[in-house]
Structures are given as C-alpha cells and as structure tokens.
Amino acid sequence: MFNSARLAIGMTVIATGISAGTTITDINGTTITLSQAASAGSTGTVSGARFSALGDAQLPGQIGGDALTGLSNKNLPATLPGGSVTVDYPAHSYITHETLAAASLSSATGSVTVSNLQQGLANANTGVPAAKTFGVSQPNPGGGLLFSNLPPTQLGTFYMKL
C-alpha cells in the first residue's frame, strides 16, 4: 500500500510515463498531484516511481535543492499556535436625552399618539463592563505536509572502475 508520509511537495518524480522534471505539487492522503501530465496512454496509476528531493540524483552533476522554497498552507502545521485575547473596555461618558415624551398629532382624518420622543439633553456615564476573554484557535485542515528545505547543492556521482 502506498504511503505518502515521506513525500514532500516539490520532490521530483522519476518513472516510466512521467516527463522529466515533473514534481509533486500537492499531496492529499494517498493521492499526489504532479506538475506535468503523464504521457499518453497512462491510466492514472504509476508503478515503480522514484521520488527525490534532489532531482534524479543517479545522474552525474545534478543540481539539487532550491535557493527559495514557497510554502503553502498544507506545509504549515496542522494546528497553528492559538491562545486568547482579553477585551476590557473602560467606563465612558455619553450624552443622552433627559426624558421621553409623548405627543398627539391631529389632522382632518384623525389623530395619532407618538411616544418615546426624546426631550432635552443630559450627560451620563457607563459602568465599567466586565472584561471578556475570547479563545483563539487556528486550525489548518490538511496541514502538516513535509517540504524540502535543502540548500542549493551540486551533486557529484562518482564511478569507480575496478
């Protein structure tokens, strides 16, 4: 059974039916997404594939690693740091109405009473509200995938003839 635990986004894929330079662009469970389509006639399942963070390291003089590696959310931890925040508002002053009044409006067709009319101005103060603490969590579904962080290197493959 295929296990993607040791694969990382950006790794080179070497297999029959896979174009040279193809890399892994996404990993979702046991399904990997490649940077290039497989050659014509492929069924979607590849057998005998090799995966390398350094390109095809079996050839002399291969360049491996990258100077820069772009991370996606999938490369970040599955659970990011969380914590809490406390909100504490101080008491404050405001202007309000002195009283609420009612008025009766009349016309040729009848009259109507309008209630809760604000009348006059007054200064007021609020009480100190209780502080509220809110928990903050940063889940990252699908996160925790490996990524290559190799420095730029030049691989040397040496052959010894006995």
What's the pLDDT tens digit per position in 71-127? Answer: 677 777 777 778 888 988 888 888 888 888 888 888 888 899 988 888 888 888 888
Q: Are 23 and 11 in contact (CB under 8 A)?
A: yes
Same-domain check for residues 57 and 15: yes
Same-domain check for residues 70 and 98: no
Q: Would you say residue 66 lies in a domain? A: yes
- Range of the structural domain that residue 119 is part of: 93-125
Neighbours of 96 (CB within 10 A): 10
Q: Would you say residue 130 lies in a domain? A: no
Rounded Cα distance between 73 and 39, Å, is 30
pTM, whole model, 2 decimals? 0.43
Overall number of domains in the chain: 2
Dihedral pair phi/psi, residue 34, rounded to 5°: -100, 155
